[in-house]
Amino acid sequence: MENSVSGNRRYELGSISGFVMVLSMTFVACAGLAFDGGRMIAARAEATDAAENAARTGAQQVTSLRSGNPRIDKNSAIIAAHQFLESIGIAGAAIADENSVTVTTNIEVPMTLLGLFGVRDKSVSAVRSARPFTGP
């Protein structure tokens, strides 16, 4: 009898450590979703804010205001938007026409905890436009 009891114990010794390992990996994955997911949400807000402010900066480059026919100076608007993005260290592109400025921003978010599970860095982008307000 003694051999059969000790024989069964030998097979059960590793079963708890396997369960603990799977449970630990599940907790790390959940923490990764919370941590890296939160960083992606913050990056999205930052990209949106940067695009909005760069578009507003570009839309302030107005010409012909006194003639009553205000128009955006396209080249100045694009340069102003790019300078703004450069000053805050965010990658982006700007396009402009006579009526509006559109800015696209892009932020790379490195996956810290989810990288352990093979999730690669994610890119977050935002597109915003602005038009000059000429008043009532």
Sequence ranges of the domains in the chain: 2-130
Task: Give kind and range of the element (H or E) at residue 84.
Answer: helix 74-88
pLDDT of residue 1: 46
Angle at 18 between CA 112 and CA 21, to 5 degrees: 20
pLDDT of residue 65: 74
pLDDT of residue 135: 67
pLDDT, one tens digit for every residue, the chain (136 residues): 445 455 555 555 566 787 888 898 889 889 988 999 999 999 999 999 999 999 999 999 998 777 777 899 999 999 999 999 999 999 999 999 999 999 999 999 999 888 888 889 999 999 999 998 766 6
Cβ atoms of 85 and 101 within 8 Å: the answer is: no
pLDDT of residue 9: 55
Cα separation, 115 vs 32, whole angstroms: 9
pLDDT of residue 86: 97
User: 87: closest CA among 61, 60, 50?
Assistant: 50
> How many beta carbons lie within 10 A of that of residue 106, not counting itself?
16
Task: Give kind and range of the element (H or E) at residue 125.
Answer: strand 122-130
Cα separation, 16 vs 92, whole angstroms: 51
